[in-house]
Amino acid sequence: MKRIQTIEDLAINGARPAFDQPLHVGRPNIGSRETFLNYAEDIFDRRWLSNNGPLVQEFEQRVADYHGVKHCVAICNGTVALEIAIRALGLTGEVIVPSYTFIATAHALHWQAITPVFADIDERTHTLDPAAVRNMITPRTTGIIGVHLWGNSAPVEELQAIADEFNLKLMFDAAHAFGCSYKGKMIGSFGSCEVFSFHATKFFNTFEGGAVVTNDDELAETMRLMRNFGFAGFDNVIYPGTNGKMIEIAAAMGLVNFDAIDDVISANRLNYQTYQKELSGLPGIRLLSFDEAERNNYQYVVVQVESDCPVSRDRIVDALHAENVLARKYFWPGCHKMKPYRELFPHAGLLLPITQKVADGVVVMPTGTAMDGEMVRAVASIIRILVGKGS
Ligand code: T4K
């Protein structure tokens, strides 16, 4: 790792990169290898690899207990979990979602032949703005999907009030919010159901994986049926289901990672605080904050480059990439500007001013257990030099 002290030290000015190896956003957090390998041996000994195996059942119980919710239905990934939840809830027609989210939120609706209607967000939290949601309701609207982006809770009470008033279903994409709380209550039991992603890059991973959590017995039962082709016992299919099953080796990874949760949160929190300290006072550079009264996983360190920053967001990203720091412009340019939805709603941007502003300004920084304080300070120094404040 090379120290960056002056503008001449930057790789965009011809110097050697600060890091020899790329620093990634979303480097997987991995618990005890030894425990994982023991689980793998057990799986081989049992010869039970998939289809609601014992580790999947144990994993589901742990996820449900951890989030204080009655049911966890483990699924092969977060996107299929969203699709299953959307279908099990009987959503049709139009469903209101933020555009400022990972594309899977919109795709999961599109794949169920439902039109995602994009509503604007709150600049402070990057989650749905209830007033904007209200404006997008039409006679075809059947539901709302709030996204707890970056682990920040969506405005659950306001969205529930709107859903109740207009007789809409409400669910949450909680892909980023494993281990997070809202008003002291763990994410997982808001709305009709909530969906986690356990993708490799997430705070908590099962290689690939996801889950729907709910307190609704009937909904949980329907989703269990749906994820296994609609089988209700041998030779009896009662629903045109899909294959959304989680496999045993994925559940083993989840069980191992449960034991590492506290360590990962500590590492993430320390990195976040270091970024906060190192980037404080820079003109036009703002770190998205977390409510310290809540439980947070600090998985995403989100820098917002404002209009008074002397350097553009793209210039910062280019400079970081040149140093081998692969910071990301999540979730630029917004779902509404991606081809499938641009064609559907050519003028959506007119109703999404905050989404556009936020998407044009965000840089997500590398963090996680693969980073230490020294690395974070070196990354931050690149930004400080770029904006002309410091060494
Ligand atoms: N809803 C929301 C709000 C989501 O954010 C997501 C997923 C979903 C729903 C859907 O859940 P899943 O179906 O994925 O379970 C990544 C992830 O693929 C995606 O899961 C995640 N959101 C999204 C935020 O990030 P990309 O396109 O950025 O992935 P990629 O391949 O560029 O990887 C990101 C970085 O991580 C790279 O710098 C490389 C590094 N990486 C990646 C993997 C897979 C590693 O270091 N090791 C690895 O094993 O989407």
Ligand 1 site-directed mutation target among 86, 100, 102, 206, most atoms within 8 Å of CB:
102
Q: Which of 109, 201, 302 to mutate to test the pocket of ligand 1 (most atoms within 8 A of CB)?
A: 201
Least confident of 1-15, 229-243, 309-323: 1-15
Q: Which amino acid would we find at residue 203?
A: F
Contacts of 173 (CB under 8 A, 6+ apart): 78, 82, 97, 101, 105, 145, 146, 147, 148, 194, 195
> Ligand 1 center to residue 289 CA distance, Å?
22
What share of the chain has pLDDT > 90, as a percent? 95
Task: In whole angstroms, give the CA distance from residue 386 to residue 54.
Answer: 53
Q: Please name each of the domains of the chain with its CATH number.
A: 7-25+261-389 (3.90.1150.10), 33-256 (3.40.640.10)
Ligand 1 surroundings by CB, under 6 angstroms: 24-28, 77-79, 101-102, 104-105, 147, 173, 175-176, 197, 199-201, 210, 326, 330
Closest atom, ligand 1, to C-alpha of 22: 38
Q: pLDDT by residue (tens digit) across 353-388?
A: 999 999 999 999 999 998 999 999 999 999 999 998
Q: How is residue 238 written in tokens?
A: 């009662």
User: Residue 292 C-alpha to ligand 1 middle, in angstroms?
Assistant: 26
**Residue 388: its pLDDT value, please?**
85
Q: What confidence category does residue 5 fall into, taking pLDDT thresholds of 50, 70 and 90?
A: confident
Q: DSSP H helical segments within 239-335, as ranges?
A: 248-258, 261-279, 313-322
pLDDT attached to residue 34 = 98
CA of 27 from ligand 1 middle (Å) equals 10
Tell me which residue has its CA closest to atom 39 in ligand 1: 24
Quick one: pLDDT band at residue 19, thresholds 50, 70, 90? very high
Mean pLDDT of the chain: 96
The pLDDT tens digits of the residues spanning 261-273 come to 999 999 999 999 9
- 22-47 pLDDT, tens per residue? 999 999 999 999 999 999 999 999 99
**Per-residue pLDDT reduced to its tens digit, 217-254:** 999 999 999 999 999 999 999 999 999 999 999 999 99
Tokens for 51, please give them: 């289809």
Average pLDDT over residues 80-99: 98
The confidence band for 3, taking pLDDT boundaries of 50, 70 and 90, is confident
Distance 337 CA to ligand 1 centre (A): 19
Is residue 173 over pLDDT 60? yes
Measuring from atom 42 of ligand 1, which residue has the nearest CA? 201
Q: Are 109 and 86 in contact (CB under 8 A)?
A: yes
* Sign of the dihedral defined by the CA atoms of residues 257, 262, 267, 269, in that order: positive
What's the gap in Å between 200 CA and the centre of ligand 1? 7
Atom of ligand 1 nearest to the CA of 28: 47
Mean local confidence (pLDDT), 312-328: 97
pLDDT given at position 76: 98
Say what the pLDDT of residue 224 is: 98
| CA dihedral for 78, 102, 215, 169, sign (positive or negative) | negative
Which parts of the chain are beta strand (E)? 23-24, 71-75, 94-98, 115-119, 141-147, 169-173, 181-182, 185-186, 193-197, 210-214, 285-287, 301-305, 325-326, 362-365
Structure tokens at 70: 């009655």
Given a cut of 70, whether residue 389 has pLDDT beyond it is: no
How much is the average pLDDT of 180-186? 97
